[in-house]
Amino acid sequence: GQQLNQSPQSMFIQEGEDVSMNCTSSSIFNTWLWYKQDPGEGPVLLIALYKAGELTSNGRLTAQFGITRKDSFLNISASIPSDVGIYFCAGQIYGKLTFGQGTILTVHP
C-alpha cells in the first residue's frame, strides 16, 4: 500500500540537541498529523495540522503543513531522553490515515 516518504529513517542525537524530520507525498491531504509510537503501544497523536501553511507548536514540538499540501515537517527542540521512540507522519482524508515509514529517534544522555 501507499506510504508517505519520511526522512530520516533514524537519528542518534545528544540530549539537548534539536531534531528535524520531514514527510513528503505525491498526493494532497486535507490534514497532516504527527504521531509518536513507543514499543508495544499504539501511535499517540502529537500535533495535528489542518490548513496549508499552518505552523503549530505543542511545547517543544513545532510542525508545519506545507503550502502545496504534499509535505510537512516536525521539529523537536532541546531533546530529552523520553523523546526516544518512533515518530510517524500521517496524511488524512475522511479519517483514513496514510502513514510514513517512521523515524527512529535515539537520544543519548
Partner 1 sequence: GAGVSQSPRYKVAKRGQDVALRCDPISGHVSLFWYQQALGQGPEFLTYFQNEAQLDKSGLPSDRFFAERPEGSVSTLKIQRTQQEDSAVYLCASSLVLRQTANYGYTFGSGTRLTVV
| Interacting residues with partner 1 (CB under 8 A) | 1, 3-4, 6, 30-31, 33, 40-45, 48, 50, 88, 90, 92-102
For partner 1, give the closer residue by CB, 30 or 80.
30
Contact 92, 31 (CB under 8 A): yes
In the complex, what is the shortest distance from the CB of residue 107 to partner 1, in angstroms, rounded to a whole number? 20
Q: Between 19 and 100, whose beta carbon lies closer to partner 1?
A: 100
Strands 31-37 and 44-49: antiparallel
Instruction: Tell me the closest approach of the beta carbon of residue 22 to partner 1, in angstroms.
Output: 15
Contact 5, 70 (CB under 8 A): no
Distance of closest approach, residue 75 Cβ to partner 1, in angstroms: 20
- Kindly state the DSSP code that residue 3 receives in the 8-state scheme: -
Cβ distance 72 to 87 under 8 Å?
Answer: no
- 42 versus 109: smaller Cβ distance to partner 1: 42
Rg (CA), the chain: 13
